[in-house]
Structure 1
């Protein structure tokens, strides 16, 4: 597993997630949907929800970050 990253609303939209589905994860641990839209949440927070779609988003964000890091190492 990768280091925790910040997942944003734009990341969720890139996976085709709709706002109605995203709202199911909130509020949790004092985080609201508006917080997510404005600041994002950590991939660890997403995993802790136990929701399969949230975990998929966490994996997507971590894979994107790993891809960027490996591309940077090649340069």
Structure 2
């Protein structure tokens, strides 16, 4: 399970001023996202192609972290 965080949005160079209303339009809790991140599958369930690049950033981050922990 991949979790997308605010860091992933920034690394993907998404405009946070635009992302907040996007969360609202899709019924997603912005504050909960800031605190806990969000599951990639939940983002995909919005059927918005714009989520795929940030999910890829999150997957790359997770793989890098696992590799640096020796878990790869």
Q: TM-score, normalised by structure 2?
A: 0.71
CA contact (8 A) 1:27 1:33 kept: no
The residue number in structure 1 matching 2:35 is 38
2:65 to 61, 64, 68: 68
Alignment of 1:1-75 (within 5 A): 4-23=1-20, 24-26=22-24, 28=26, 31-73=28-70
CA distance in 1, matches of 2:7, 2:60: 15
Which deviates further from its counterpart, 6-15 or 65-74?
65-74
CA distance in 1, matches of 2:56, 2:18: 18
Number of corresponding residues: 70
Structure with bigger RCO (C-alpha 8 Å, 6+ apart): 2
Q: TM-score, normalised by structure 1?
A: 0.69
Deviation at 1:7, TM superposition (A): 0.9
Q: CA RMSD in A?
A: 2.2
Unmatched segments (≥5 aa) in structure 2: none
